[in-house]
Amino acid sequence: MLLQHQTWQEVEFYLTHSTGIIMPIGSTEQHGPNGLIGTDAICAETIAAAVGDVADAMVGPTIGVGMAVHHMGFTGTMTLRPSTLIAVMRDYVLSLARHGFRRFFFVNGHGGNIATIGAAFYEIYAEFEGAFGARQDQELVCRLANWWDGKALSDLSKEVFGDQDGSHATASEVAVTQYVLPKTIKQAQMDPPKAPSGRFHGPADYRRRFPDGRIGSNPSLATPEKGQRFFDASVAELAKTYKAFMEEKS
């Protein structure tokens, strides 16, 4: 149930029986030799839409550019400063809160967003609950859910990819994009097959240490069939988490 595909009257009716909304958030950044630049946004958007179908929940517009400063050494990457992303999230949430939404379930596709999302939640609470704005009568609650989190996804990663899923340009996320967008599948040589792992600081250092963009991954192992397994597992887990979130008392 995509917000952008509804009329205002349909959204008004939805709010008579639910104040929950799913908010996809991702990034626009390099994902190695065969990963789409939009991988993080695509995964978040398509998985969130499917969760909305399962949970009969409204799904908001995707925040498609995230905090990706460390990927700016690679052509095509776009980034928001953390302060900008916080402001965007604040405006998205408080716009919808104005109409009566109170439970915001962010389905995240990018690890680099996590710290900023947490900070944004507290900026929103501070304004909504009166620290820096007018106190509201109803509590507003935000929740972060990374699509790849949880034991089921971790076990599936080990089963399908062993120790080659990695931490960036992962085989699993590339596989998900291949499943949902089969016409965009790319082929590329991986040298070495499994990329090195390690830490970095800033975009220049990232590019020096990981010249093809991958960290610890071998996305040549990705296939649409494997992607469907990750997609289905994530949707099932997130639908349960969303339903539990909606049942929690404020």
Mean pLDDT across the chain: 96
Structure tokens at 37: 């630049």
184-197 pLDDT, tens per residue? 999 999 999 999 99
Query: Strand 103-108 to strand 20-25: parallel, antiparallel, or no bridges (unpaired)?
Result: parallel
- State how many domains the chain has: 1
151-164 pLDDT, tens per residue? 999 999 999 999 99
28-73 pLDDT, tens per residue? 999 999 999 999 999 999 999 999 999 999 999 999 999 999 999 9
Q: Is the pLDDT of residue 234 over 70?
A: yes
In this prediction, residue 135 carries a pLDDT of 72
In this prediction, residue 129 carries a pLDDT of 84
- List the domain range (segments joined by +) for residue 93: 3-247
Quickly state the pLDDT bin for 14 (edges 50, 70, 90).
Answer: very high
Q: What CATH code is carried by the domain that includes residue 122?
A: 3.40.50.10310
Distance CA 26, CA 177 (A): 13
Residue type (1 letter), 171: A
Structure tokens at 120: 């944004």
In this prediction, residue 9 carries a pLDDT of 98
Residue type (1 letter), 236: A
80-128 pLDDT, tens per residue? 999 999 999 999 999 999 999 999 999 999 999 999 999 999 999 999 9
Contacts for 231-237: CB closer than 8 Å, 24+ residues apart: 231/46, 231/47, 231/50, 231/176, 231/179, 231/180, 233/152, 233/153, 233/156, 234/47, 234/147, 234/148, 234/153, 234/176, 235/47, 235/50, 235/51, 235/54, 236/54, 236/152, 237/149, 237/150, 237/152, 237/153
Query: How far apart are the two ends of the chain, measured CA to CA in Å?
Result: 25
- Taking Cα atoms as reference points, which of 24, 23, 44, 2 lies closest to residue 148? 44
Side-by-side strand order, sheet with 20-25: 58-59, 20-25, 103-108, 141-146
Residues 6+ apart with CB under 8 A from 60: 3, 21, 22, 23, 24, 92, 96
